[in-house]
Amino acid sequence: MNTSYRTVAVLQRHLRRAVSLSSYALLFPGQGSQYVGMTCKLQDLPGTRTIFRTAERVLGYDLQSLCLQGPREMLNQTVHCQPAVVVGSLVALQQLEAQSPEVLSGCTAAAGFSVGEITALIFAEALSLEQGLQLIKTRADCMQAACEEMSGSMLSVVGLETEVVQSLCDQANAATTPPPKVCIANYMFPRGLVVSGGSDGVRCVEEGAVREGGVVKQVAVSGAFHSSLMSSAVPKLTRLLETMDVTMPRLSVISNVTGRPYSSVEEIRQLLADQVTQPVLWEASLRGILDNGPLTFVEVGPNKQLKTILKRINRDAFKSCISVTV
């Protein structure tokens, strides 16, 4: 049995176990989950060809070749990896639809981490594929430009309470002048946070977190995402979103900024633009979905990062979580 058939067989077994639960929530990964070779096993699906052709037309380059062949350094650039992650997730959706359409018809909620939120909105038909790709292209270009304008970094801090990490950020901001300042950028899981901002301030937080007994790790990104260092991207995204025919999603889509479902088209436009400077409330987003009753989470896209995070939030939900990878 080749690898692709084994993947399908495993997926089908997991779905059969989950059939007793009445609904599903789809999770879409963000930047950092990409890898060279992604989608290689799903090239024969008709939807894959359509998605990549549309991506090439909108983006202006051959994303399919970049995903399949690299080079890795180019794929990992912000300007390329954000479209790659979203397109990879959309291709994984084609596999899920082909093998288990009942999951899509039974889906009641969707959430995406950072750029993955745009994937969720495309899936929920709030944005067309073309609009979503244009938004991702502009978002990635603007964030890449912001990284080049002002250097910054991100730091994972595990094992410390939020109040402790916030205090370390406050101390770093008081000690480092002038700005850019540091802030908590991602609320991942209990005692699991990511700090973002100017490199000097992030180093101060790192030193303080180690003293407090935290486990720290530099995040492999090119800048200080979800912080004020991305402010230059907001006006451009706002202008673009104002021109787009955004509609209310056909199912509940959770905003990274509020941790709650979107309630209006105006809120989608505003929060998608603001999202690049605001923290990702990921733990709150998943807990909000779980509060609405029993369901099965399905992570759709490259790698299994979101399932790993889910284990720190709700172990029962983690045990039933299905991964549909590319």
Catalytic residues: 114, 226
Joined tokens for residue 19: 């059939």
Bridge partners, 216 (sequence order): 157
Q: Can you list the alpha helix ranges (DSSP code H) found in 212-304?
A: 233-243, 265-274, 282-290
Rounding to the nearest 10 degrees, give the CA dihedral for residues 45, 47, 48, 52: 160
- Letter for the amino acid at 80? H
Joined tokens for residue 286: 């998943």
The answer for residues whose C-beta is within 8 angstroms of residue 46's C-beta and 6 or more apart is 94
* Angstrom distance (rounded) from CA 227 to CA 176: 16
Comparing C-alpha atoms, which of 184, 140, 133, 143 is closest to residue 161? 184
- CB burial class (10 A; 0-12, 13-18, 19+) of residue 13? exposed
- Letter for the amino acid at 128? S
Angle (nearest 5°) at CA 277 between 317 and 172: 95
Q: Which sign, positive or negative, has the C-alpha torsion 112, 113, 117, 118?
A: negative
Q: Which residue has the tokens 């994303």?
A: 63
Maximum pairwise Cα distance, the chain = 60
Q: Which residue has the tokens 């402790």?
A: 164
Residue 156 CA, chain-centre distance (Å), reads 16
